[in-house]
Amino acid sequence: MSSTEHVPPFTSAEPAKVPFASAAAASGAPHVEVPVAYDAILLAGFGGPEGQDDVIPFLRNVTRGRGIPDERLEEVAHHYRHFGGVSPINDQNRALKAAIEDEFTRRGIALPVYWGNRNWGPYLEDAVKDAAAAGHTTLLGIATSAYSSFSSCRQYREDFARVLEETGLGDVVTIDKVRQFFDHPGFVAPFSAGVRDAIVGFLDDGVAPDQIRVLFSTHSVPIDDAKRSGPRDVDWGDGGAYAAQHRAVAEVIMSDVVAERPDAASVTWDLVYQSRSGPPSQPWLEPDVVEVIETLPDAGVRALAIVPLGFVSDHMEVLWDLDTEALEAAEEAGLRAVRTPTPGVDPAYVSGLVDLVVERLEGTPVTERPHRTELGPWFDVCRPGCCENVRAGFKPAAAGVAP
């Protein structure tokens, strides 16, 4: 099913109450097309350990409520221990925060940026309390995740709501959220450049186009969760909105490459998944990136570009699952392979995030919002039932229509 068959009927939604929202977003309209006087930005990250002693406590936070014993957590901990117990994600978010602040200064935007994590310090709770103490109570959130699913969108919104309830600031502070930016030009551009450079390098070294494969990799999620990603009133096909968004962006990236190098038109690509967890009995999105790599030599592939399409920076899932396991699998298969960059603090990406903030400050009409796929521009206020967690059900969530 092509991306054009998935265009969401955003305009058909009936207004409904949105918890913890600004007055402009509280009605539940899909897009907020009036200016909102936000007084601060809340940069929301996943968080990561910054030393060996942090690893197990961090993983307990990530898996809270699931009753996973420490011995099982240690099976994942070795990924972090391999890198000294330090995840690069906090330093990456420090760099992103500084880059956003620099871009604000360049554009004359006088908004402070507060940074908080879901699973490790600095925590969202402290960021929101610091903002409120400074008199900043109308917050606009930027989650460091581009796509729609429970773990990449709704869980951030639930944590916004949880923090406001637990701190007692729910009657004082509001938190809206910028739209999912999977197809914003600023997010797509760094990926297009990386894929182009990889393919051009192969072609210029004499590799035939039909011997090149591009694997667009993203975090696997449980199939039942994937089916519930995005609005409920749209048939997204296999993998829900989560997979549809990735496929649509991959198509755009490959079109960008062919526009510059027509001889790349016969290069083929696949959407693959990585980093699955959970019991073997629970179905998750497939195919696995390593398992696909192992099949490529028999398909006549000589050169491989691995694209971390689901990730905004080079955090642990990229360093371990792609730079370690996937590249080792490619070497064992006799394939020439490169892993293309994540957006990180690429100027196009940083500028794009600030563009998303400006959209909400100015109330930019939907028809004027940039997007690279026919799925966008995505909505500002998540729809009812969007991205349900099948195991835990619905919890209060900011920046979306209940439940």
Distance CA 119, CA 137 (A): 23
> Residue 330 above 60 pLDDT?
yes
Q: What's the rounded Cα separation, in Å, for the pair 217 and 205? A: 25
- pLDDT score of 259: 98
Per-residue model confidence as pLDDT tens digits over 25-59? 999 999 999 999 999 999 999 999 999 999 999 99
The residue-averaged pLDDT of 170-191 equals: 98
> Phi and psi of 184, rounded to 5°?
-70, 140
Where does the pLDDT of residue 345 fall: very low under 50, low under 70, confident under 90, or very high at 90 and above?
very high
Which span out of 10-14, 16-20, 179-183 was modeled with the highest average pLDDT?
179-183
pLDDT for 184 beyond 70: yes
Identify the H or E element spanning 43. strand 40-45
What local confidence, expressed as pLDDT, does residue 15 receive? 45
Mean pLDDT of 237-266: 97
DSSP-derived secondary structure for 105-130 = HHHT----EEEEESSSSSBHHHHHHH
279-305 pLDDT, tens digit per residue, is 788 999 999 999 999 999 999 999 999
What per-residue confidence (pLDDT) applies to 254?
Answer: 98
Q: Which residues pair with 307 in a beta bridge?
A: 216
Mean pLDDT within 267-289: 93
Same fold, 3-181+346-368 and 185-339: yes
Q: 18 with 403: CB under 8 angstroms?
A: no
Q: Domain 3-181+346-368 has what CATH class? A: alpha beta
Does a cis peptide bond (omega within 30 degrees of 0) precede residue 15?
no
Per-residue confidence (pLDDT) for residue 136, from 0 to 100: 98
Does residue 92 sit in helix, strand or coil? helix
The full set of domain ranges for the chain reads 3-181+346-368, 185-339
- pLDDT for 65: 80
7 contacts: CB under 8 Å, gap ≥ 6: 374, 375
pLDDT at residue 16 in the model? 52
Q: What is the pLDDT of residues 71-122, one digit of tens each?
A: 889 888 988 999 999 999 999 999 999 999 999 999 999 999 999 999 999 9
What pLDDT score was predicted for residue 27?
92
Token look-up 């835990």 returns 392
If DSSP codes are grouped into helix, strand and coil, which group holds residue 174? strand
What is the strand order of the sheet 336-339 is part of?
268-274, 212-219, 303-307, 336-339
Digit-coded pLDDT (tens) for 132-166 = 999 999 999 999 999 999 999 999 999 999 999 99
**Which token pair is 254?**
């490959």
**What CATH number is given for 185-339 in this structure?**
3.40.50.1400
Tokens 């439940």 identify what position? 403
- Given this model, what pLDDT does residue 278 score? 76
Task: State the pLDDT at residue 302.
Answer: 98
